[in-house]
Amino acid sequence: MDVALVYDLAGSRLRGIGDVPISYDRLGSRPRALGSWPLEYDTLGARLRAVGATEITYSRWANLPRTVGQWSCVHTKLGSRLESIGPHELRYDQLGSRVRAVGPLEISYDRLGTRPSRVRAPGEGTSLPDDLLLLLFIVLYWQEKEES
């Protein structure tokens, strides 16, 4: 399976994962929905708290994700990098700065290596299963937040 990541004309905002659209608030600064799933943020609007019915919890002091729905998040010992979400391991490039895979999903970047452009997964079709779509979106969202 090969899924394109779609960006706006300026190339700055992720507008879709395959055929699943991502909508933004009026200012266009933060995502409001992934397909039919609304996105919820904390009261200050700084952290993503839920995607549809899937809640996300964070550690109290370090602001690291602890859970995504029923799945626990595992970080490196120093907490500097997310290693897995539930059964899905995250793999990074050699510098450790860009996520290259989320479980069975392999992420390709554009020629400059600045933004994810395609996702490959075993199997046929052009749409991801809901659990992998959710994880991919969350990981890409967190990665973008880290870079900004």
pTM for the model stands at: 0.94
Q: pLDDT band at 40, cuts 50/70/90?
A: very high
4-17 confidence digits (pLDDT tens): 999 998 878 999 99
Helix, coil or strand: residue 46:
coil
- Cα separation, 17 vs 3, whole angstroms: 7
Which of 144, 145, 129 lies closest to 20 in space, CA to CA? 129
What residues are paired with 85 via a beta bridge? Answer: 73, 88
Q: How many domains does the chain have?
A: 1
pLDDT value at position 28? 79
Give the model's pLDDT for residue 18.
Answer: 94
Each residue of 51-73: pLDDT tens digit?
999 999 999 887 899 999 999 99
Collapsed DSSP state (helix, strand, coil) of residue 147: helix
Residue 76: is its pLDDT beyond 80? yes
Structural domain boundaries enclosing 99: 2-147
Q: Report DSSP state, residue 59.
A: -
Three-class SS of residue 119? Answer: strand
